[in-house]
Structure 1
Amino acid sequence: MAKRDYYDVLGVAKSADAAAIKSAYRKLAIKYHPDKNPDDKEAEDKFKEAAEAYEILSNPEKRQRYDQFGHSGNSASGFGGGGMNMDDIFSQFGDIFGGGSPFESFFGGGSRSGGGRRVQRGSNLRIKVKLTLEEIAKGVEKKVKVNKQVHCHTCSGTGAKDKSAYHTCNTCGGSGSVRRVTNTILGQMQTTSTCPTCNGEGVEITSKCTTCKGEGLERGEETISINIPAGVSEGMQLSMSGKGNAAPRGGVPGDLIILVEEVQHETLKRDGINVIYDLYINFADAALGTSVEIPTIDGKAKIKIDPGTQGGKILRLKGKGVPEVNSYHKGDQLVYVNVWTPKAVSPEERSLLEKLKDSANFKPQPGKSEKSFFERIKEYFE
């Protein structure tokens, strides 16, 4: 089933600012919250849909990619923007409700896991990946080694010295929140707040791990396989959910942000989805015609130069360019023909040229000359 437009999901205009987007999401989150709509699959789906829309539109970089490429801009080949779980969603509430989610009062905790436990989130990581023009044109799988925070090998991320030093919080019973009943003139009022003993984590550590000092984290290295779609461009950022720094004690890991860098090709230049090649031929080949071999993204290709070809002519190799991201459409390779004029000639060559320059065919013919280089470019793109 096709995804709905994120702006339609939140009910805001495409020109909406950050405050309007946050306000719209807040209303939907409260309306469709699972605790308010128990066993309602439709409400749960709308809750997740709204969270996914907010995740993209609240992030300036992700929003820019979405506005430019649509859903494919953030979800291509498993990158970002989809498949959020409840831990991801509840981890947003500290931002949405200013660190004090209304769900703490009404539903038993905002940022939670299971029964209301507070879930910490790992930080995002940014790396650069260099790609050749051939890799960009065809898409590529890159395996990179990332130095990041991982779960402590000694305590497996619990932060405790041993199993006996890590147990369910006695105050909240592992829920991460405590409920209080207050008598008011309107009757008994029940409120829920973060457990003061475990700070909402639902567990207590009586003796910290000596390796990580109770953090549950240490520096490590992970080899990550990145499937980069064809057609990406210089400066584009892709994100892999959950591949960033690990979070303490079973929290939600951050994302891995991949910045694309293009390695300049030796002979080809990229212009959007088109590829440009400057071909240099001598005067004789331009006059008599010839066949030449030129480089393309896919390898060598032979092209024909017609007799009488003028300098500045543009030849087009259809479909030999770069594809658009997540599209079957491909650009072309444009071959700019340049007629090479020698800077120095031998006496014998000079003699031949002296004879040729008086020939009628070698004299410019006003009114019969071909169009200028810029006129050809304009006609090609019109």
Structure 2
Amino acid sequence: MTEKRDYYEVLGVSKNSSDGDIRKAFRSLARKFHPDKNPNDSEAEKKFKEVQEAYAILSNPEERRKYDTFGHSGHGSSPFGPGGFQGVNISLDDLFGGGFDGIFNQFFGSSRRRSSKGDDLIYRHTVPFQVAMDGSEEEIEIQALRNCIECDGSGSNSPDKVKICPACDGRGRVERLERLGPFTQRAVSDCPSCEGRGKIIPDPCNSCGGQGMSQQSKKVKFTVPPGISSGVRLRMRGHGGASRSENGAPGDLYIEIEMHRHPWFERDSSDLLMGLPVGFSDLALGSKIELSHIDGKPLVVNISAGSQPGDTIEIKGRGLPIQGSSRRGSVMVVLKLDIPKKLSRDQKKTISSISDILGSNLDNVEERIREEASRRRG
């Protein structure tokens, strides 16, 4: 039998921690290991229940006092009854929203019922790199749960025969009292008689099988703002799946943006980086090079005489828009020496003549190495 971990260790707090510290630690860990954030992860589910159990004891002054005095053995059998601690249903809305009181209600017996929200959906959408400069209006087609078209959401081929479920009085949920240590709580679950629908459907719809809902196509328009990056998720409230509860809100749609690569620009936040191959004469004598640019205006690169391979030229204000600002990043141009792999006889003769005039770079090579290192280090 696996030995129980210390409850303070489970929550990552000390024995002198205040109630507020314990509550804060519980919320943080419950968010991290919540089953909705870790689907099909048995280890996360195990840790989530362990965190719940630790909090159930340490958040109760009397139970905490017993635990501090006697440890796990102080309770004899489990404080949660013969079945042990089974966990309570804590939604992400409780943890991320302002519903922390709802967690206490589940522990200590509130009969207030939440309407369940529809499923959130995630779709990936690819846009051209140009969108990072200009932004765009986009449209995607999604599949989402909606009221069945054939039965108009009634779930039946004969809507007039649909009856209110007598077991749950049309609520779709039933309550039962459960013992939780020294406390009693009301546990709410789907009604087994009507499978949570609140209705008895004698003639189920041929299209949706009595569910009253079906997967349907829907086109959604949305705006991609300038300066957006790959991996950013845009949230479209209420465009997710419909709720299976009568008064539940629909879920949200998350659109994850993927961006095509640019032919020569790489991106660093709002800055654009590029390598520019140039010849020896461009570096030695200086040069002015004009390129097309994604903002529609020519990009002029001024190369100073005596520039070195690897030097970076910053062109401010010509990068991508900085979100939340009217400013733009920079274009960073890295100079690359482009040496021909094949030379004609005349080219070789000309270069040899220049070399005789300038002298070999191998003369005083160690001194040149020191100068280069000093220049790099600033």
TM-score by length of 2: 0.62
Look up the match of 1:277. Answer: 274
1:136 is aligned to 2:117: no
Secondary structure of the corresponding residue to residue 284 of structure 2: helix
User: 2:287 is matched with which residue?
Assistant: 290
Superposed, 1:320-339 pairs within 5 Å as: 320-328=318-326, 330-339=328-337
Provide the secondary structure at the position in 2 that maps to 1:259: strand
1:154 aligns with 2:150: yes
Deviation of 1:361 after TM superposition, in Å, equals: 7.2
- Deviation, 1:14, is 11
Partner residue, 1:226 = 222
- Contact 2:315 2:330 (8 Å CA) reproduced: yes
Q: Secondary structure at the match of 1:16?
A: helix
Answer yes or no: is 1:264 the counterpart of 2:267. no
Partner of 1:305: 303
Per-residue deviation at 1:15?
9.9
Distance 1:312 1:102 in 2: 64
| CA shift for structure 1 position 331 | 2.8
Over 3 Å counting, the alpha-carbon distance change for 1:233 and 1:149 in structure 2 is same
Question: TM-score, normalising length from structure 1?
Answer: 0.61
**Unmatched 5+ stretches in structure 1:** 1-7, 28-49, 57-83, 113-118, 181-188
User: 2 CA distance for matches of 1:261 and 1:20?
Assistant: 26
* Corresponding residue pairs, total: 295
Amino acid corresponding to residue 226 of structure 1 in structure 2 = F
Q: Rg: which structure is higher?
A: 2
Separation in structure 1 between the aligned mates of residue 267 and residue 281 of structure 2, nearest angstrom: 30
Between the aligned partners of 1:19 and 1:221, the Cα distance in structure 2 is 32
Q: Which shows bigger deviation, 269-278 or 236-245? A: 236-245
Structure 2 CA distance for aligned equivalents of residues 358 and 308 of structure 1? 19
**Structure 2 unmatched runs, 5+:** 1-19, 35-50, 57-90, 177-183
Find the aligned partners of 2:336 and 2:287 in 1 and give their Cα distance: 14
Instruction: Identify the residue that residue 54 of structure 1 maps to in structure 2.
Output: 95
SS of 1:225's partner is: strand
1:315 & 1:281 partners in 2: Cα distance? Answer: 13
CA distance in 2, matches of 1:230, 1:340: 35
Task: Give RMSD over aligned pairs.
Answer: 4.5
Aligned partner of residue 250 in structure 2, secondary structure: coil
Contact 2:31 2:92 in 1 (8 A): no
CA distance in 1, matches of 2:26, 2:134: 33
SS of residue matched to 2:347: helix
Distance of aligned partners of 1:161 and 1:249 in 2 relative to their CA distance in 1, 3 Å threshold: farther
* Matching residue's letter, 1:227: T
Q: Distance in 2 between matches of 1:193 and 1:346?
A: 87
Q: In structure 1, give the amino acid aligned to 2:29.
A: D
DSSP 3-state at the match of 1:214: coil
Report the AA paired with residue 136 of structure 2. Answer: V
308 and 196 in structure 1: CA distance in 2 versus 1, 3 angstrom threshold: closer
Distance across 1 between alignment mates of 2:304 and 2:283: 7
Amino acid in the other structure paired with 2:149:
H
Calculate percent identity across the aligned residue pairs.
26
| Letter of the 1:256 counterpart | L
Deviation at 1:223, TM superposition (A): 0.9
Counterpart Cα distance in 2 of 1:280 and 1:341? 9
Output the amino acid matched with 2:125: V
Q: Tell me, what secondary structure is at the counterpart of 2:24?
A: coil
Aligned to 2:60: none
* Residue 285 to residue 301, structure 1, CA distance change in 2 (3 Å): same
SS at match of 2:130: helix
1:375–1:231 distance in 2 versus 1, CA, 3 Å: farther
- Listed as ranges, the matches of 1:51-130 within 5 Å are 54-55=95-96, 101=106, 106-108=110-112, 110-112=113-115, 119=116, 121-130=117-126
For the residue of structure 2 that corresponds to 1:356, the secondary structure is helix
- Determine whether 1:243 maps to 2:239: yes
Once the two structures are superposed, what CA deviation does each residue of 1:330-370 show, in whole Å capped at 9, x if it has no partner? 43211001121122222222222222111147757866899
Aligned counterparts of 1:14 and 1:304: Cα–Cα separation in 2: 58
Quickly say closer, same or farther: Cα 1:304–1:53, change in 2 above 3 A.
farther
- Which digits, 9 at most, give the CA deviation of each residue in 1:113-140, with x for residues without a partner? xxxxxx4x43333322113322124333
